[in-house]
Structure 1
Amino acid sequence: MRVLTLAMLAVGAVSIAQPAQAQTYDPSYPVCMRVFGDPTYFECRYSTIAQCKGTAAGRGAECLLNPYFASAVDPARRRHRAY
């Protein structure tokens, strides 16, 4: 009886689990383009908003700043002057 209960519990846990999604934003570029469609997806491979808008012209897309862009300035390494 214990084996049957554990098997039913395992099947239930597997059936309600959802697949994991990949990271949406690529941290290598500062600008991303969201392309609307089925499915909606992001292309993070633009250096400027103007470059992105040139590619997005005539498409169902919008350009936005990448919130995960790994900028050249590391805030943790800034030196603060002691007063």
Structure 2
Amino acid sequence: MRQLLLTTLVAIAALGTSFQAADAAVKYPYCIQLGADNTQCSYKTLKQCRAAAAGLDADCIRNPKLDFSRA
């Protein structure tokens, strides 16, 4: 019984780690730029970025780390 519990906990921990790694690998095409050194690329659409930037001294830009030329 204790072995089964331990095995289950290890499996759950391994799954959680793989989901975190997958999330970290997502590259979003739009970024909010809140200053020279503060760029956060976490938007799927320009509309989402503009909604987040509304009322802030911020700009929305294309993610400079993505290659848009292959689209």
TM-score (norm 1): 0.46
CA distance in 2, matches of 1:59, 1:30: 20
Secondary structure at the counterpart of residue 32 of structure 1: strand
Flag as ranges the 4+ runs of structure 1 deviating above 2 A. Answer: none
What is the aligned partner in structure 2 of residue 35 from structure 1?
Answer: 34
User: What amino acid sits opposite 2:30 in the alignment?
Assistant: V
Secondary structure at the counterpart of residue 60 of structure 1: coil
Q: Which has the larger radius of gyration?
A: 1
Sequence identity, in percent? Answer: 34
TM-score (norm 2): 0.52
Where does structure 2 lack aligned partners over 5 or more consecutive residues?
1-25
User: What amino acid sits opposite 1:28 in the alignment?
Assistant: K
Q: Which has the higher helix share?
A: 2
Match 2:42 to one of 22, 45, 52: 45
Check conservation: 1:28, 1:70, Cα contact below 8 A.
Answer: no
User: Where does 1:39-78 land on structure 2 (aligned, <5 Å)?
Assistant: 40-69=37-66
Count of residues paired in the alignment: 45
CA distance in 1, matches of 2:32, 2:55: 13
Where does structure 1 lack aligned partners over 5 or more consecutive residues?
1-26, 76-83
Secondary structure at the counterpart of residue 55 of structure 1: helix
> How large is the Cα RMSD of the aligned pairs?
2.7
- CA deviation vs aligned residue, 1:9-31 (integer Å, no higher than 9, x gap): xxxxxxxxxxxxxxxxxx71100
